[in-house]
Amino acid sequence: MIKTSTSRSKKQVFKACTNCKYLVSRDVTKCPNCGNESFTDDWKGVILIIDPENSSVSKHLNIKKEGKYALQLGV
């Protein structure tokens, strides 16, 4: 199941992994999804992945871990 919502990138609570777009809180230094250590505040939109094993969208986006992902980076 996938829920989407829009949100602005300014003053975000979360930052987005530049590799897989996984959203983490600001104190996280390493992406729990892909291990990347590079993040950006320039992201827009949220995809909430609840069941990545059975989601065609998560396969398309190379998502293996449930959680929140940014729709778009570099806005």
**To which residue do tokens 């590799």 refer?**
19
Single out the residue of 16, 17, 23, 47 in contact with Zn ion (rule: CB under 5 A).
Answer: 17
For 59, phi then psi, to 5°, come to: -65, -45
Single out the residue of 2, 7, 12, 19 in contact with Zn ion (rule: CB under 5 A).
Answer: 19
Is the Cβ–Cβ distance between 30 and 60 less than 8 Å? no
Q: Is 33 in the site for Zn ion (CB under 5 A)?
A: yes
We find the least distance from the C-beta atom of residue 31 to Zn ion, in angstroms, to be: 3
Among residues 21, 22, 26, the alpha carbon closest in space to that of 11 is found at 26
Single out the residue of 34, 61, 71, 73 in contact with Zn ion (rule: CB under 5 A).
Answer: 34
**To which residue do tokens 């570099």 refer?**
74
* Contact set with Zn ion (CB under 5 A): 17, 19-20, 22, 31, 33-34, 36
